[in-house]
Structure 1
Amino acid sequence: MLNRVVLIGRLTRDPELRYTASGVAVAQFTLAVNRRFTNQQGEREADFINIVTWRNLAENCANYLKKGSLVGLEGRLQTGKYENQEGRTVYTTDVVADDVRFLESRNRSESPSDFRSGSFGGGNNYGSGTGYNQGKPMDDPFADDGKPIDISDDDLPF
C-alpha cells in the first residue's frame, strides 16, 4: 500500500502550536494549493488543505512560518471523525507532514542565502537544527556579483 502526498502552497494562517498532555508538540495550519487549471471566468482556484506536524518539525514550523509562507511538504493522508456539540458526526481529512521545506526566506526582502536551512524533515539530520549548516547563512553560488561569467561554448551541456 502507498499513502504519500506531496504539496507546494502558501499558508493561509500562522501555524497553531499546542502540546499534548504528555508534552509532544503538534502544529496545525492550512495550505492553499493552486489548481492547474482556471475556471470559466479565467480565475485560478485553490484547494485548502489541513496540515498537521509533530515534535521538532511542529516547533520549527511554528517558529519560522507565518501566513503567506511558501512551503513544499511531503506526508501522508489521514482521515478521522468525531461527534460535534450537536451530536453530528464530522469527518476530517488532514495531511500529516513528515518533511516541510521552506521555499523562501522569512522576510521576502532578504535573499535566500540570508536564511538558515529551511528543511526540517522528520527522519533526517535536518530536523534537530544541528549538524546541517549549524545556523550559519549559506553562500549562494548563483548570486550575481555583477561580473560577467567567463565560460567557453565547449563547457556548455547544450
Structure 2
Amino acid sequence: MNNKVQLIGRLGQDPEVRHLSNGSKVANFSVATSDFYKNKQGERVEDTQWHNVVVWDDKLIENVVEKFMSKGSQVGLTGKLKTRSYETNSGEKKYVTEVVLERFSGEILLLGGREPSQRDTDIQNFEERKAPVSTEEDSDDLPF
C-alpha cells in the first residue's frame, strides 16, 4: 500500500455512526495528536493537531467503534490519507483531508482506555458511597 498513515491519539468526541440507504454504515470522529517542543525561551510547548477520521468498514464499526470507542479513548489508527473537495452554498470550493479506514485497509487498535469524564467520576463516587465497608476480619470464611 503506497498511501498509508498511522496515528496514535485521543478521540475528540464520541463517534458519529450513520446508517446509509444501502444498509451499510459510516463512522466519523476526530483524533487529536500532540507533539512537544521547546521554544526559544526554553519553555515546553504542546502542538496539538486534529485529524478527521472516516470508517467505511461495517464490521470494524460494529465490533470496535460502536462498542468500545468514546470521547477521550486513546487509539492507534492505520488508514489512507484522502483529500476531497466540495462547494459551499455560496459557491466557494473547500478541501477536506481525512484519514479513511476501509475494509481490508484500515485498522483500529484500542490503547489505554480513555480519560475519565466527569460522569465517570460521579459514578465512581456514588459506588464508593454505597459500597458497604466491613471492619470485621472474617478469614475463616475464605473459600480456599
Q: Verify same fold: TM over 0.5.
A: yes
Q: Which bin holds the TM-score, normalised by the shorter protein?
A: 0.5 to 0.7
Q: Whose helix proportion is higher, 1 or 2?
A: 2
Please name the residue that 2:60 is paired with: 57
Measure, in 1, the Cα distance between the counterparts of 2:60 and 2:37. 32
Larger Rg: 2
CA-based RMSD = 2.0
Measure, in 2, the Cα distance between the counterparts of 1:70 and 1:2. 26
Paired letter, 1:63: K
Q: Any gaps of 5 or more consecutive residues in structure 2?
A: 117-144
Measure, in 2, the Cα distance between the counterparts of 1:19 and 1:76. 22
Deviation at 1:87, TM superposition (A): 1.4
Q: Whose strand proportion is higher, 1 or 2?
A: 2
Number of aligned positions between the proteins: 108
Measure, in 1, the Cα distance between the counterparts of 2:78 and 2:25. 19
CA-to-partner distance for each residue in 1:101-143, whole Å, 9 max, x for gaps? Answer: 11124686xxxxxxxxxxxxxxxxxxxxxxxxxxxxxxxxxxx
Deviation at 1:8, TM superposition (A): 0.1
Choose from 87, 90, 101 the match for 1:86: 90
Measure, in 2, the Cα distance between the counterparts of 1:93 and 1:23. 26
Q: How high is the sequence identity, in percent, across the aligned residues?
A: 38
Mapping of residues 1-158 of structure 1, within 5 Å: 2-39=2-39, 41-54=43-56, 55-59=58-62, 60-97=64-101, 98-105=106-113
Runs of 4+ residues over 3 Å off in structure 1: 38-41, 105-108
